[in-house]
Chain A
């Protein structure tokens, strides 16, 4: 049993609960960044350094900056009309009920699932896998980025002088 994995995943769940329950949106965005850091450490411990670096730089960095930028635009409005907090305060209780109820069903199912694993050959190097074997993915990424830029450009048109 690898306790480091388990501890990291427990920390991820705890930080995610904190991000959901946080009163302020800014604190929620910061907690989300910490969730990304914990997930990145989990990736490192799984032996996936490239994924961990991408997660750390993009999700904990870029997405947090985007969140904080958007939250700072709407923060005054959100504080003027706060949401009903009762549903968020119920999250630990609901999560505990789900955890206890699913403890009897999910781990045996996942243990059964793990017996179906067919061990692979290791896959070689990440560069070979990314540039040679997964080339359509790269084309898809470029198309997704172009589509995202197009959508943002169309949703937020530039101001025109009257």
Chain B
């Protein structure tokens, strides 16, 4: 078994942890924490594949784009959280229905 397989196996565990967090919690903050963990796993996949295929420069260029997208998604999610808290007094995902219209 090579290093690539071991690395990706551990990354799969990381992604599973993030997905479990998103499935188990109803809090918007924990949903975003889970999303962050999953996106860290995706980034590690990209860099690892780039390193093993001798394309680390392209992997870094793509990763910078991924980081920017991640920041925008998290900032938008946290803005939604604050708005939901102001309207419904709760950070519950299921309360987002109250923000329709």
Chain A residues near B (Cβ < 8 Å): 1-2, 5-6, 9-10, 12-13, 16-17, 19-20, 25, 28-29, 32, 35-36, 39, 42-43, 46-48, 50-51, 54-55, 58-59, 62-63, 66-67, 69-71, 73-74, 77-78, 81, 83, 87-88, 91, 94-95, 98-99, 102-103, 106-108, 110-111, 113-114, 117-126, 129-130, 133-134, 137, 140-141, 144-145, 147-148, 151-152, 155-156
B14, A78: Cβ atoms closer than 8 Å: no
Q: Give chain B residues whose Cβ lies under 8 Å from the Cβ of A20.
A: 17-18, 20-21, 24, 30, 33-34, 37
Distance in Å from the Cβ of A81 to the closest Cβ of chain B? 8
A98, B58: Cβ atoms closer than 8 Å: no
Given contacts A1-B6, A9-B14, 19 further A-B contacts (CB under 8 A): A12-B10, A12-B40, A25-B29, A46-B47, A47-B56, A55-B63, A63-B36, A63-B71, A69-B78, A74-B29, A78-B27, A108-B1, A113-B4, A120-B54, A122-B55, A122-B57, A145-B72, A155-B79, A156-B83
Q: Give chain A residues whose Cβ lies under 8 Å from the Cβ of B30.
A: 20, 25, 28, 83
Task: Give the complex CA separation of A13 and B62 in angstroms.
Answer: 23
A10, B10: Cβ atoms closer than 8 Å: yes
A48, B50: Cβ atoms closer than 8 Å: yes
A62, B71: Cβ atoms closer than 8 Å: yes
Interface of B is mostly: helix
Residue of A nearest to B34 (CB): A20
A78, B91: Cβ atoms closer than 8 Å: yes
A51, B47: Cβ atoms closer than 8 Å: yes
Q: Give chain A residues whose Cβ lies under 8 Å from the Cβ of B90.
A: 77, 81
Closest CB pairs A-B (n = 6): A123-B57, A148-B72, A120-B55, A110-B5, A9-B10, A114-B4
Q: Give chain B residues whose Cβ lies under 8 Å from the Cβ of A77.
A: 85, 89-91
Chain B residues near A (Cβ < 8 Å): 1-14, 16-18, 20-21, 24-27, 29-30, 32-34, 36-37, 40, 43-44, 47-65, 67-76, 78-83, 85, 89-91
Residue of B nearest to A57 (CB): B67
* Given A13-B10, A120-B55, A126-B61, A39-B5 contact (CB < 8 Å): no
